[in-house]
Amino acid sequence: MKIKIKEKPWDLLIVVLLTTLLILAVALIPDSFWRTLLGLPFILFLPGYVLISFLFPEEEPLDHIERIALSFGLSIAITPLIGLALNYIWEISLIPILFSQSFFIYIFSLLAYIRRRSIPPDELYSIEFEINPPDWENYDWIDKALVMATIGLLIVSGGLAYNIATTPRTGERFTEFAILGETGIADDYPTNLTVNEYGTISVMVINREYETVNYTVVVGLGNDLDEMEDVGDIAPEFDLSFPSNNTYKDMDLSLDHEERWNQSMNFSVETSGHYRLSFFLLRDDEIYRNLHLWIEISDQED
């Protein structure tokens, strides 16, 4: 059986089909083997191939090997450049990269097809190959054994690739614990207040432990919070109003892997002085992370 790509743009249609199938796989069957299988050529080959098809639609000057090599090389260059652009105009995550690179592939597939239509058929780049079943009668037993061994190795390699692609990979286990200012970033903290003036901060916890974890967030005010005893209950709305003496407030939470907890807190102090506002993250009743802010409380101006 002979397969020929010249007058009909079957190669570009296959590229568009693979890209569309990847979009459907991400939308309908996330974290599947098909997503990984389609994603590899989408990142490593297709962008460069459609660009080469647009730049060199003629048979000359590139041969098949050069086109394949340039397709891989250009794809490895194009994908980071798209990511760099996304860093300024959108964000670097799965969906923006998927749609941006798909848009690139669709546009250059169309442009390559338009350029091919303007070139005489006898000058077009062509791909032709023939698939014939093996003639077993002309094979000796050594050739037959080598063919069967090759087929067996391909099956085993495919199974290993499937297992690697579908087995979840566990990265570094950790928990993000941060104090954020009113703007939602680690800055602009209310560190200089007057008596009874409220300051607002947020506490963020992100579980990256690859398992569900039970935490306790403990907040305290004072000059020395080394001892963790007499922990008091926190109000349901987690709105803090601290007296001048040492006070503890706490909240229990359970987070799944990649789940985020973010809670805004208001606090005020009745007496002027220099205080340490401390935040402890407990896991299994032991201090797992701790942070603090130094707060300067001054008398109210008359």
For residue 213, give the CATH number of its domain. Answer: 2.60.40.10
The yes-or-no verdict on residue 20 having pLDDT over 50 is: yes
- Kindly indicate the confidence band of residue 12, based on its pLDDT and cuts at 50, 70 and 90: confident
Distances (CA, A) of 277 to 134, 191, 224, 285, 290: 78, 10, 10, 20, 11
In the chain, what percentage of residues exceed pLDDT 70?
77
Under 8 Å between Cβ of 214 and 252: yes
Domain match, 109 and 196 both = no
Total domain count, the chain: 2
**Last-in-domain residue among 113, 133, 153:** 133
End-of-domain residue from the set 72, 103, 133: 133
Has residue 143 been placed in a domain?
no
Residue environment code for 10-20, b if the CB has 16+ CB neighbours within 10 A, otherwise e: ebbeebbebbe
Integer-rounded Cα radius of gyration of the chain: 31
Please indicate, yes or no, if residue 139 is contained in any of the structural domains.
Answer: no
Query: pTM here?
Result: 0.46
Dihedral through CA 95, CA 101, CA 107, CA 109, nearest 10? -120
The rounded distance, in Å, linking the Cα atoms of 187 and 180 is: 7
pLDDT tens figures, 291-302: 888 888 888 764
Q: Are residues 129 and 242 in the same domain?
A: no
| Strand, helix or coil for residue 277 | strand
Question: 184 and 98 share a domain?
Answer: no
Residue 183 token pair: 């703007």
Closest C-alpha to 109, from 50, 41, 57:
50
CA distance 208 to 205: 10
DSSP states of 73-132:
HHHHHHHHHHHHHHHHHS--SHHHHHHHHHHHHHHHHHHHHHHHHTS-GGGB--EEEE--
Print the domain residue range for 198. Answer: 174-298
| In a domain? residue 165 | no
| 167 belongs to a structural domain | no
Residues 105 and 223 in one domain: no
Residue 166 belongs to a domain: no
pLDDT tens figures, 222-253: 654 444 344 443 333 334 555 444 455 677 88
Residue 272 included in any domain: yes
Element (H, E) at 154: helix 141-166
Instruction: Tell me whether residue 270 is in a domain.
Output: yes
